[in-house]
Structure 1
Amino acid sequence: MHSIERHEDPGTYRKVVGRFATGVAIVTTRLGEVDHAMTVNSFTSVSLDPLLVLFCAEKVARFHDAVMEAGVWGVSVLPASMEDASRFFAHRGRPLNGQVQRWPHHRGESGVALFDGAIATVECATTAVHDGGDHSIVVGEVTGLGTPSDGAPLLYHEGRYRTL
């Protein structure tokens, strides 16, 4: 295996990849009686046979260890009207207790919280975890799907929230 010589700094990298517009979602899991959640824009479809999706979790985030242990997770794809939730779940160090109670939600079959205001929900069981540098790439088989509400999607582009 050969090494790759680095030519760009992390700031330039963030600027360049930030030009790729993404949707915004909240990934949730439940460990014991405690809900864990975090905002992601690294969510994508992987396969139709079997139905697989993935998201990336920063290894130092407390969500990372919770989702690894729980083995199940949910994704709530956010509408533009839920920017406040996206900002809240992107903030490090917030109290865990009662955090999902701030927004209407329901429980998926695995017990994870899925937000009622989401324009799409996906419930998953982890099937693989791959190393991705300072993140883990978490692949899950889809165990449930939903479209609880309608609305324009919340987007993230060049470091700012956007809408269609």
Structure 2
Amino acid sequence: MNVNSVEPREMTSADMADAALLRRTFGTFGTGVTVVTVGGRTPHGMTANSFTSVSLRPPLILFCIDRQAIMHRRIRLGFFGVSVLAAHQEGVARHFADLQRPLGAKQFDGIAYEPGRLIGAPLISGALARFECELWRTCDGGDHTIFIGRLLSLDWASDLSAREGLLFVQGRFRSLAPETGAPETGSA
């Protein structure tokens, strides 16, 4: 047996009830970091690392939100923005993850952003990519809801090869230096 291999083991009901164990184990999968925002009279933002692309035709993305989160109620209004954070934006990620931050427009004080041109949701300045979306579908996800959005607009940093993305893995923010060479454009 390879000493570096992981031995499969059946989860016990105690394991499934141990949120810390689940969080630590799920955290071995590194993710990018985004800020999801809604506009309107009471703008709101939250850090999310559950973001992923879903489809090219139609262009769809998804992320998951805890049913108890303020954003869970606000996102149901139908339109939202997503900003994919760059490595230098760890402070922005921490700010929007802080449950003690001010609510409403005050939570954007000191944060560089522009309102999206179509829906007006705040989009974080300096982000690697920014999306404006319309809520397309929701799905039950246990204690979270899976929100699927249809892209209405997008923009991205002009020189992505010179920029690093902000990553979250094993409970910590990290960055990964970009590779040299052209990015892949095909699918496997």
TM-score (norm 1): 0.91
Name which of 99, 103, 111 aligns with 1:103: 111
The residue that corresponds to 1:120 in the other structure is 129
The residue that corresponds to 1:162 in the other structure is 174
Deviations 1:80-123 (A, max 9, x none): 11100100100114212322232221111111011111011111
Q: 1:29–1:72: 8 Å Cα contact kept in structure 2?
A: yes
Residue 5 of structure 1 and its aligned partner are, at CA, apart by 6.9
- 1:38 lines up with 2:46 in the alignment: yes
Quick one: higher RCO (CA 8 Å, sep 6+), 1 or 2?
Answer: 1
Name which of 55, 63, 67 aligns with 1:59: 67
Q: CA RMSD in A?
A: 1.6
Deviations 1:39-90 (A, max 9, x none): 000000001110000011111111110111x210110000111100100100
- 1:75 lines up with 2:85 in the alignment: no
The residue that corresponds to 1:6 in the other structure is 13
Question: Can you give the 5+ residue segments of structure 1 that lack an aligned partner in the other structure?
Answer: none
Q: 1:152–1:163: 8 Å Cα contact kept in structure 2?
A: yes
Q: 1:78–1:154: 8 Å Cα contact kept in structure 2?
A: yes
Residue 13 of structure 1 and its aligned partner are, at CA, apart by 1.3
Report which stretch shifted further, 88-97 or 107-116.
88-97
Q: Which has the larger radius of gyration?
A: 2
> 1:83 is aligned with what amino acid?
E
> 1:64 is aligned with what amino acid?
H
> 2:26 is aligned with what amino acid?
V
Q: Which runs of 4+ in 1 moved over 4 A?
A: none
Sequence identity percentage: 42
- 1:94 lines up with 2:101 in the alignment: yes
TM-score (norm 2): 0.80
> 2:79 is aligned with what amino acid?
V
Residue 148 of structure 1 and its aligned partner are, at CA, apart by 3.9
Residue 7 of structure 1 and its aligned partner are, at CA, apart by 5.3
Q: What secondary structure does 1:102 align onto?
A: coil
> 2:72 is aligned with what amino acid?
H
For these two proteins, the number of residue pairs brought into alignment is 159
- Specify which structure has the higher proportion of strand: 1
Q: 1:18–1:159: 8 Å Cα contact kept in structure 2?
A: yes
- In the alignment, the residues of structure 1 paired with residue 86 and residue 35 of structure 2 have an alpha-carbon distance, to the nearest angstrom, of 11
Question: Can you give the 5+ residue segments of structure 2 that lack an aligned partner in the other structure?
Answer: 1-10, 177-188
Report which stretch shifted further, 92-101 or 133-142.
92-101
> 2:172 is aligned with what amino acid?
R
